[in-house]
Amino acid sequence: MWWPQHNLCFRHPIEEDYSSGDLEKKVSVAGSSTGRGSPAVTLVQLPSGQTVHVQGVIQTPQPSVIQSPQIQTVQVATIAETDESAESEGVIDSHKRREILSRRPSYRKILNELSSDVPGVPKIEEEKSEEEGTPPNIAAMAVPTSIYQTSTGQYTATGDMPTYQIRAPTTALPQGVVMAASPGSLHSPQQLAEEATRKRELRLMKNREAAKECRRRKKEYVKCLESRVAVLEVQNKKLIEELETLKDICSPKTD
């Protein structure tokens, strides 16, 4: 379970959608690390089947891979228990559930926090102009080249982590959405109603785009976590092997 907040502690039924077993099982590791001392190049296979060459080793001490640095885990778990008991009584309604489960920190925020802790985790960049190049601080992890095309812009991920570029909206509004008239020019209730409708349509349209973008970022975030898990698994395996080797060397010979 990847959820940044109540991972490992609690899974609410309504989160089933996002807890696809696929995500938890698809990451496989090729494990072709180079020898000791040399810069490790790790071949990691992502769920999509793509292989990722990961350079460098994440060395910063860190909590569990799937644990968020947020402290809310305990809080949410506690609340969740009351939630479950309430549910068993059949009292809880959707509104309550919303209140209880609402608001987790944004993926961008979480990822950026992770990246500040761990050099190997790239940041989800703020929206950039097309002219800007790839920032130097995201060169630690290689991700297959891909291009995301959204209605608001083209997202390119070339080599390293996805750095996405958003074109300035060339067409201000789609057909059917008319720019609002200035408030001073509104007179009749009908005009006011039309204005309200326009505003609503505009808001819905923007939210539609925002939701798409949010989902894209969410996927990116999950991919990033998967990559990180894969890297750490390789690392872990390597360390275990190293430990065994050292044990062999240090143990008194019996024969």
Partner DNA sequence: TGACCGACGCGTCATCCACG
Partner DNA sequence: CGTGGATGACGCGTCGGTCA
Binding piece for DNA, criterion CB under 7 A, among 15-23, 62-70, 115-123, 187-195: 15-23
Among 154, 192, 212, 240, binds DNA (CB under 7 A): 212
Token output for 247: 């044990």
Task: Lay out the site mask for DNA across 99-118 (x = CB under 7 A, - = otherwise).
Answer: x-xxxx-xxxx---------
Q: Which is nearer to DNA, 104 or 238 (CB)?
A: 104
SS3 144: coil
Could you say which residues in the range 17-46 bind DNA, by CB under 7 A?
17, 20-23
Least Å from the CB of residue 125 to DNA: 12
Token output for 176: 């059917």
Among 135, 214, 233, 238, binds DNA (CB under 7 A): 214
**What distances in angstroms separate CA 77 from CA 86, 93, 102, 177, one per listed residue?**
14, 19, 13, 44
Least Å from the CB of residue 235 to DNA: 26
Task: Spell 33-46 as b/e; 16+ CB within 10 A means b.
Answer: beeeeeebebebbb
Among 116, 215, 237, 240, binds DNA (CB under 7 A): 215
Binding piece for DNA, criterion CB under 7 A, among 132-140, 153-161, 183-191, 214-222: 214-222
Q: Which is nearer to DNA, 160 or 213 (CB)?
A: 213
Task: Lay out the site mask for DNA across 66-105 (x = CB under 7 A, - = otherwise).
Answer: ----------------------------xx-xxx-xxxx-
Token output for 131: 């002219």
Whole-number Å distance between alpha carbons of 135 and 25: 32
Residues near 25 by Cβ (< 8 Å), separated by ≥ 6?
none
Whole-number Å distance between alpha carbons of 173 and 184: 22
Q: Which is nearer to DNA, 107 or 155 (CB)?
A: 107
Least Å from the CB of residue 12 to DNA: 7
Least Å from the CB of residue 48 to DNA: 10
Least Å from the CB of residue 20 to DNA: 4
Whole-number Å distance between alpha carbons of 26 and 195: 49
**Residue 36: what are its φ and ψ, rounded to 5°?**
-65, 145
Q: Which is nearer to DNA, 43 or 214 (CB)?
A: 214
Whole-number Å distance between alpha carbons of 176 and 180: 12
- Give how many residues touch DNA by CB under 7 A: 37
The answer to whether residue 204 forms part of the interface with DNA (CB under 7 A) is: yes
Whole-number Å distance between alpha carbons of 170 and 72: 41
Q: Which residues bind DNA (CB under 7 A)?
A: 12, 14-17, 20-23, 94-95, 97-99, 101-104, 106-109, 127, 204-208, 210-215, 217-219
